[in-house]
Amino acid sequence: MVLWDNEGLFVNFRFQTTKMNKSNFSKIIAGTMSWGVWGRNFNFSEMQHMIEMTVDLGISSFDHADIYGGYTTESAFGTAFSNTAIARTDVQFISKCGIQLMSPTRQNELKHYNCSKDYIISSAEASLKHLQTDFLDVLLIHRPSPLMHPYEVMEAIEQLKKQGKINHFGVSNFTTSQIELISSEVAVEVNQIEFSAVQCQALFDGRLDQMITQDIIPMAWAPLGSVFSTEITPQKEQILKQLGLLTPKYNATPDQLLFAWILGHPSGIRPVIGTTNLERIKAASKAVSIHLTTQDWFKILEASQGHEVA
């Protein structure tokens, strides 16, 4: 944004923000997409138990989106969390907005995106109500819209921050150029992208480079990359073979090694795990103590790519 100062000169303006402390977020983030009707459909007591056990394992950050469960999961989570003894300041709530789904609660004719000022504000306020909290630690734009204007996004984020309704702002699934577009008006502090040993293009297309240089926290959804799905591909076979060779060396399970591989990147990627299995969550929490050697890290990359590095 460009404004005139009192002497008629151009001055640059960008809404200033308190820089995010990366240590405020757990290294593994609990994704809640499958906690509601889109997955396990936990009842009240089950969801409360999941929250308590997850926090006990050292995973204090919870990833939400307004659309999860057809706009119902945040409300279920908020009710369950309000009945725990966990202090709100001991956990971090992340939510996303911008996707408009066809739903009985929405007058939508088709799935589309909305990144307008009014919609961002109303979505954030709805998430606060549903999660029964006064603030979100981070609000993300879920998907970039072709109609998105950075100034309008900045106005929404500035208002929400001034009102104490969000602490930080970020995006999800944005390319480097889309980050630059939004960053022209408002500081981007998080970019949540698909990233795994199966889907690791961000290593080479500049996204992770940009997040290092601009001090943006990367969060990785689908961090296991469907390696353990029933659909077998040559790439997955090679990855599983390599993980099998490394398992005894690190006394770790294959999924722990995949998380350790992601955690080993210098950008400080936070994997967002989607499992609702407490044993798998427990296993994931232990991955933070696994440190792959440089050569072992490259062995997994080579298995993913199907060839040695150039």
DSSP the chain: -EEE-TTS-EEE--B--PPP-GGGS-SSEEE-TTTSTTTT---HHHHHHHHHHHHHTT--EEE--TTHHHHTHHHHHHHHHHTSS--GGGSEEEEEE-EE---TTS--SS-EE---HHHHHHHHHHHHHHHT-S-EEEEEESS--TT--HHHHHHHHHHHHHTTSEEEEEEES--HHHHHHHHTTB---EEEEE-SSSS-GGGTSSHHHHHHHTTPEEEEESTTTTTTSS---HHHHHHHHHHHHHHHHHT--HHHHHHHHHHTSTT--EEEE----HHHHHHHHHGGG----HHHHHHHHHHHHTS---
Residues classed as catalytic: 68
